[in-house]
Amino acid sequence: MSECSKIPYASRWIALVAMRAIARSRVTRGLTGPRGTYFCTPCRCWHLTSKARLQTPPWLNG
Ligand SMILES: [Zn+2]
């Protein structure tokens, strides 16, 4: 049972890899991609967020 509708990722690293792929595909379409990861306590998994709180993805610089 998932507490939310977001895609759960087992680890921060897996979420980061997924975020990079999703962000890249969305940016090429002129859309806003995910910019950060956060740990979801109810899910006990990692999710992606469009709010860049912790760090700026290096691939979005420049
Ligand atoms: Zn969750």
C-beta separation of 37 from 46 below 8 A = yes
**pTM score, two decimals?**
0.71
CA of 44 to the centre of ligand 1 (A): 7
CA of 62 to the centre of ligand 1 (A): 32
What pLDDT tens digit does each residue of the chain (62 aa) get?
Answer: 556 889 999 999 999 999 999 999 998 999 988 989 999 998 899 999 988 655 555 565 54
Which residues are bridge partners to 37 per DSSP? 48
CA of 39 to the centre of ligand 1 (A): 8
- The confidence score (pLDDT) of residue 61 equals 52
- The confidence score (pLDDT) of residue 27 equals 87
CA of 15 to the centre of ligand 1 (A): 12
- The confidence score (pLDDT) of residue 59 equals 62
Domain boundaries, the chain: 12-54
Distances (CA, A) of 9 to 30, 32, 34, 44, 61: 25, 20, 14, 9, 25
Which DSSP string do the residues of 1-62 spell out, in sequence order? --SSSSPPBSSHHHHHHHHHHHHHHHHTTT-PPP-EEEEETTTTEEEEESS--S---GGG--
CA of 7 to the centre of ligand 1 (A): 8
